[in-house]
Amino acid sequence: MTAFKISDEVAAALAENRPVVALESTIISHGLPRPRNHEAALEFEDILRAQGVTPATIAILDGVPQIGLDSSDVDRIANEDLAKASVRDIPILAAKRASGATTVAATAHLAALAGIRVFATGGLGGVHRGAIDTFDESADLSTLAVTPITVVSAGVKSVLDIPATLERLETLSVPVIGYGTKEFPAFWLTRSGYQLDWSLVNAEQIALAMQAQDALGHGQGMVVANPIPEHLQWDPSEHDRVLEVAFKAAAAAGVSGKAVTPFLLGFIVGESGGRSLEVNLDLARNNVRVAGLIATEWSALKARG
Ligand code: PSU
Ligand code: MN
């Protein structure tokens, strides 16, 4: 039984030490509305190809984890109602020969298994507000503690508990590096108000940190926090207003657990008149581009030995 399949294109790039960036499928299946999700999935791949980087979008298809999708697979993740799959769901989907869209945790796990070192997402999962009562903390965090991959993200969505998420990443020994900033971004917003210990200014420095991390053998991942440029961010006061309404709606609808993130994202798109969606796409494009630069530096570093 093969545990997973790698597309020929991704396998060839890895074998030849050409740059590869992993992309998740939950953002496509559950994080963005149709039909923009399908366009986005293709666009993220195109951004990488234009940089000379091979995209490896990851999903579980008919029970098999697939690393690198063809165009009919991309169509499936955008248009079928797939389960949201974290790491623990993978073996069950395998037994049922069912399909699933992979979260950051599941994508990171599968990408690392395949030998991919760089991954782009929109926002990392984190500690949910109210976690002190619900224990709701994304497996994205604990997975990065044991998975050697660098994730480029625009921080975590401001619907989460940002300072608690940063504390947990510290406890889990996952480095959080601001990309050209010492302030953690807040997904739709350039700034969260929370300071980071470290900032690196370019992809070459990130690749050097990855090399040093590997050499030390800790085996954990790294978070590169890449803020959306200020001129593209969501208006902060409108953001605050919409979030307040969204939390009330989630409480009234009684959503909990892993349904919370997709509910809030969908609600926020509607309440913002689509503005949050445009910002979400812009920040994700920006992350894909930076991940492409890091993967390129990483390949160059490995080629130098
Ligand atoms: N952040 C977004 N959009 C998303 C997600 C996060 O802006 O779609 C997804 C990612 O796949 C992330 C997951 O890994 O939500 C986290 O979900 P949970 O909190 O249930 O672990
Ligand atoms: Mn959760």
> What residue ranges do the domains of the chain occupy?
1-116, 122-233+285-305
Ligand 1, atom nearest to 262 Cα: 8
Write the residue with the smallest CA distance to atom 3 of ligand 1: 31
Asked if 24 is an active-site residue, the reply is yes
Question: Would you say the CATH fold of 122-233+285-305 matches that of 1-116?
Answer: yes
CA distance 72 to 58: 13
* Domain 122-233+285-305 sits in CATH 3.40.1790.10: yes
By the 8 A CB rule, do 260 and 214 touch? no
Classify residue 172 as exposed, middle or buried by CB count within 10 Å of its CB (0-12, 13-18, 19+): middle
The DSSP code for 17 is T
Residues touching ligand 1 (Cβ under 6 Å) are 24, 26-27, 30-31, 86, 103-105, 122-123, 125, 138-140, 157, 258, 261, 265
CA of 304 to the centre of ligand 1 (A): 36
Smallest-distance ligand from the CA of 140 = 1
Please list the pLDDT of the chain residue by residue as tens digits (305 residues): 578 999 999 999 999 999 999 999 999 999 999 999 999 999 999 999 999 999 999 999 999 999 999 999 999 999 999 999 999 999 999 999 999 999 999 999 999 999 999 999 999 999 999 899 989 999 999 999 999 999 999 999 989 999 999 999 999 999 999 999 999 999 999 999 999 999 999 999 999 999 999 999 989 999 999 999 999 999 999 999 999 999 999 999 999 887 888 899 899 999 999 999 999 999 999 999 999 999 999 999 999 97
By the 8 A CB rule, do 151 and 182 touch? no
What percent of the residues of the chain are helix, what percent strand, and what percent coil, each to the nearest 5? 50, 15, 30
Active-site annotation holder among 137, 157, 258, 297? 157
CA distance 58 to 65: 7
According to CATH, the topology of domain 1-116 is Indigoidine synthase fold (3.40.1790)
Write the residue with the smallest CA distance to atom 20 of ligand 1: 258
| pTM as predicted | 0.96
